[in-house]
Amino acid sequence: MTRIPLLLFLTAAVLTQGCDRRQTPSLNLFAWSEYVPQEVIEGFTKETGVKVNYETYDSNEAMITKLSQGSTRYDLIQPSEYAVENLIRRNMLEPLGESQIPNTKNLDEAYRNPSYDPGLKYSRPYMAGTVGIVVNSDIVKDPIRGFADVFQPKYRGRIVAVNDDREIVSWAFDVLKIPINDVTPANLQKARPLIKSWLSLVKVFDSDNPRAPLLSGDCDIGVVYSGDAAKLYEQNHKFRYILPEEGAHQFVDSLCIPRGAAHKEAAEQFINYILRPEVSKIISDKFPYTNPNAEARKLSSKEQLDNPASYPRAGHVEVFHDIGPATQQISAMMTELRSG
């Protein structure tokens, strides 16, 4: 008599457990490498019970390619401004629910109505920054003001640069005074010899951790993301950050939900979570980019706000726009130059 209810109970327990396991809410996050601190992910999971699967990429183009293939379903992605623009144009993003993300109010006015996404219909800024030059001023004594000063034969084998085709092409365009968003076959042809000569000067291409060769002394000059430069400066003030005089790409890395995401609610919850001042502070403490969150910035120390890489005082900054199919022209040319 007692055996049957026990068996039923056990069967029910096993079934429910199996069911529970299948139903553990999850969030598939596809974001830049290193960029989302483990502490933030754990904090979110602890509070909401939502498990975060964090997959990484090291360029907007790589992310868009993978997203367009559609084989993996992501709930949350982290495109930079021009990639947001591209994805909006191609109808690949979900509009964000305003009432689900009340912490938007914490954003600085300057980030509330960007040209790449008017009214923040599809995106929320995560961190902003620039691509600039870092020099080890103990070693490099000659003045470095811009890209033309960096890419000189005398620095051959001493340079580290982010491994990003669109960025590299824009540096050459800047030096040649070609507008950086005017990516045409003719302009690429003009920039080609210059880029070819630069590639042979660079010792390390690395977008994930360009700090390493500068810290180890393998390289003395870098063209890197401002967050990496700021981290180097925190470690040692000999690492100076310079906004290239020819022009520096100013980016806004954002959070967006791909069209048709299975866990839209959890994704909006995550966006709202990172917009809390104390959570956003954890991110910019770890990766000292320009924090677009005004309330989080209030929690930063004077030292953090004085870091010239995180909050550059002045400089000639430029934004990238969606260039559509010209992206493929860049990548074809760069692949060819790298292999030859």
Greatest alpha-carbon span in the chain: 91
CB of 317: closest distance to ligand N2P in angstroms? Answer: 14
Q: Which position among 225, 239, 241, 270 is part of the footprint of ligand N2P (CB under 6 A)? A: 225
Closer to ligand N2P by CB, 30 or 155: give it: 30
3-class SS string, 76-90: EECCCHHHHHHHHHC
Are 128 and 172 in contact, with CB atoms under 8 Å apart?
no
Rounded distance between C-alpha atoms, residue 73 and residue 140, angstroms = 47
Report if residue 165 touches ligand N2P, rule: CB under 6 A. no
DSSP 8-class letter at 106: G
Q: Which of 125, 118, 44, 132 lies closest to 296 in space, CA to CA?
A: 125
Report if residue 116 touches ligand N2P, rule: CB under 6 A. no
Stretch that binds ligand N2P, among 29-37, 170-178, 302-310, 324-332 (CB under 6 A): 29-37
User: Which residues, numbered 51-110, are part of the site for ligand N2P (CB under 6 A)?
Assistant: 80
Report if residue 251 touches ligand N2P, rule: CB under 6 A. yes
Report if residue 33 touches ligand N2P, rule: CB under 6 A. yes
CB of 289: closest distance to ligand N2P in angstroms? Answer: 8
Rounded distance between C-alpha atoms, residue 148 and residue 177, angstroms = 12
CB of 166: closest distance to ligand N2P in angstroms? Answer: 11
CB of 245: closest distance to ligand N2P in angstroms? Answer: 21
Give the chain's end-to-end CA distance (angstroms, integer). 80
Stretch that binds ligand N2P, among 30-38, 211-219, 231-239, 300-308 (CB under 6 A): 30-38
Rounded distance between C-alpha atoms, residue 269 and residue 48, angstroms = 9
DSSP 8-class letter at 254: E
Structure tokens at 318: 């430029």
DSSP 8-class letter at 97: P
CB of 129: closest distance to ligand N2P in angstroms? Answer: 6
Report if residue 253 touches ligand N2P, rule: CB under 6 A. yes
Rounded distance between C-alpha atoms, residue 288 and residue 311, angstroms = 9
Report if residue 206 touches ligand N2P, rule: CB under 6 A. no
Stretch that binds ligand N2P, among 28-36, 83-91, 133-141, 240-248 (CB under 6 A): 28-36
CB of 34: closest distance to ligand N2P in angstroms? Answer: 5
The site for ligand N2P (CB under 6 A) is made up of: 32-35, 80, 225, 251, 253
